[in-house]
Structures are given as structure tokens and as C-alpha cells.
Chains A and B, each alone.
Chain A
Amino acid sequence: MTRQQLLDLYFMDARSKLIDIAAFLDRVDRGEGEPDFRLAAFRKALEELQRGEPVRAKSVLMSLSDPTTEPIAKAPGKGAVGAWPGQEAH
């Protein structure tokens, strides 16, 4: 598809999601107390959007991923939270 066709298909949806992200960050800023590691991870992942190559989705996912290679000793629980808390959390 041409860039024009892709803009016609997806611009409004992407615009809506972009404003949702902006509003989310504003909401967190207005909140009280200290944020956990997820906010810093989110902000760092946002930097990947500035890349000039079409690998942004992969880069954002990698930015939020556990980069280690060894199995961990014990499961901290069953769920995932969406961002890697760092080596010391294990």
C-alpha cells in the first residue's frame, strides 16, 4: 500500500492512541507518591519511537523485555507486568 493509503487507513486510530499515551503520562504526573520501575521503562521505550527505521515495534518490545539468558531460581508469581524490573528484583 502507498503511504497515503496507510495514512487514510490508520492515522485516526494512531492519533487516538497517541493522545491516550499523552493523557496517561499527564495523569501519572498529576498523581501522588513515587512511581515504580514501570514508568521509567515506559519513558525509555518511548525513545524508541524516534528511530528512523521501520523496526520501532520490535525495539519497543525489546526495551520492555528481560534481556538475561539464564532461567531464574523461582517464579515470583504467575503474572507479568509488562516491563522488566531489573536483575535485582530476582
Chain B
Amino acid sequence: MRYIEPHGHMVSRTTDDYEAMVIAGCRAVCEPAFWAGYDRSGPQGFYDYFCQLTDYEPKRAAKFGLPHFTWLCINPKESEDVQLAQEVIALIPQFLDKPNVLGIGEIGLNKNTHNELKVLEQHIDLAARHEQLILVHTPHLEDKFKGTRLILDALLADSRIKPERCIIDHVEEHTVQMVLDAGFWAGITLYPESKTTPPRAIDMFEVYGGQRVWLNSACDWGRSDPLAVPKTAIEMRRRGHSDETIDRLVFQNPIRFLSQNPRFNVR
């Protein structure tokens, strides 16, 4: 089996996790910027984090022969402070030429506030001005449906944005259809409690098709499993899917999306 982990917060995982992923068949890992579990005290904290994502973490992954890519932003959980967000967004362009940067992400909404929306629009503008791919985080639990609608509206309102260059992550049964119907890619996140389980992810794949869909573990410091994608591949085999179908979903699909940035050279 071979697969891409298109969304893993490896800064909060152990080196053993890198090794286990490679043994399971992982050919590349992509790490969006996210919330550290606490609010950073200022822009300098984000500068250091962006250095970690573009310099240190690729070296840690390379010890196991695993290509490491990243996405940059200030995450929605810290977007309520608009001034801080603007200072962090101003830091990002100097990192966009780093060899492992794929785009802007994971941007989006958390509690669906006016300030979060304002910062989302500034991120969208940044991506458009620099012709970057976009990776979107949709809100958790009760906030997801409303937040997904607001996010799609914000993206579609900017004529410079091409839906096929944006992935809307963490879709569930009540949001996947609207994402695909609007022409975006959809990310299905596999979590032990929230988001989706492997059987539900496969249900969505079977019902809505897998043309513009990827699977990810979004493994981080919370309850999550860095091997969730290969475990779901095994579950797909139990459901009678062919090796070719599985390979298309867990390997070829992420490559098709990510290769829109020529830096993503994994084949």
C-alpha cells in the first residue's frame, strides 16, 4: 500500500510516528499551520512556528526518507484578534518561496464570528495575490454546517479564486454535497470521536463519489491517529473495494490536487 498523508500536524507527533507512517506506506506528509493548543503571545511566536514548519520539520521527516510539505496561515482559533492576525499575515509572504510551502492553510472559521470572517477574507486575498493553493478548515461540531456555508460564500465571492485549487477539509455527511457541488475538493478527516470514522468516510466516498476527495488523519496533540488513512484503506478492502480504487483515493487523488503546486513533486 502507498498513500499520502495530506493533513498531519507533525510538530505535535513523535519521531516514532514518522517511522510508523513510512512503514505503513506513507510517501509524503503535508502539514497545515494550526492552533498550538494555547494562544501565542504575539507575531514572533508565529514567525518561529513558520520557521519550524519550513526548516526543522522537513529535516525530521527526511530522516525517514519522507518528503514534508506545509501550508501557512494564522488559524481560525486565533483569528478573533484581528490586529494580531494582520501582523501574522504580513509575515507569511517571506516564507512563500520556501521549497516545502504548498499554499495558504488551514484557514477558515471556528465560531463563525465577524472577526474570523474578516481574517478569512484577508487570507483569501493573500492567496489570490500570490497565486497560492488554499486549504480550508471547517468548524467543529454544531458550528460546521453554518461555517461551511459562510466559507464557501467567501471563496465564491472572490472572482480570483478557482474552486478546483481549494480543498475544504473536515467535511461530514451534512456538508460534503455543498462543497462538491460548488466545484471544490473535499477533505474527509478520520478521528476517533469527532469528524468521521473509517466506515462513515467510506460511506461518503461510495455515495458522493471520489473524484475530488481525499482522506486525512489531521493527527495532532488531541485524540487522533497518524495511521488513520492506511487503516481506512484496510477497511475499504473489507468493503470489497479494489486495490486500484483504494490507491486512487489515498494516493493519486492527493497528488492530483497538490501537484497544482509544482513544488509537490511526489509521484
A residues within 8 Å of B by Cβ?
1, 5, 9-10, 55, 57-58, 61-62, 64-69, 71-84
Q: Which residue of A lies closest to B239 (CB)?
A: A1
Are A62 and B145 closer than 8 Å at their CB atoms? yes
Are A81 and B111 closer than 8 Å at their CB atoms? no
B residues within 8 Å of A by Cβ?
35, 77, 80, 110-117, 139-146, 149-150, 172-174, 199-200, 203, 238-240
Which residues on B sit within 8 Å (CB–CB) of A76? 111
Are B111 and A65 closer than 8 Å at their CB atoms? no
Q: Which residue of B lies closest to A73 (CB)?
A: B114
Which residues on A sit within 8 Å (CB–CB) of B117? 71
Q: A-B pairs with CB below 8 Å: how many?
A: 80
Are A78 and B77 closer than 8 Å at their CB atoms? yes
User: Which of A57, A75, A79 meets B173, CB within 8 Å?
Assistant: A57
Q: How far is the CB of A12 from chain B (nearest CB, A)?
A: 13
Are B173 and A66 closer than 8 Å at their CB atoms? no
Q: Which residue of A lies closest to B111 (CB)?
A: A75
Are A57 and B200 closer than 8 Å at their CB atoms? yes
Q: Which residue of B lies closest to A57 (CB)?
A: B173
CA distance A79 to B143 in the complex (A): 10
Sample of 8 further A-B pairs with CB below 8 A, known A57-B203, A68-B146, A83-B142? A9-B238, A55-B173, A66-B145, A75-B110, A75-B113, A79-B140, A80-B111, A84-B142
Q: A57-B203, A64-B141, A67-B146 are in contact. Are A75 and B80 (CB under 8 A)?
A: yes
Are A66 and B174 closer than 8 Å at their CB atoms? no
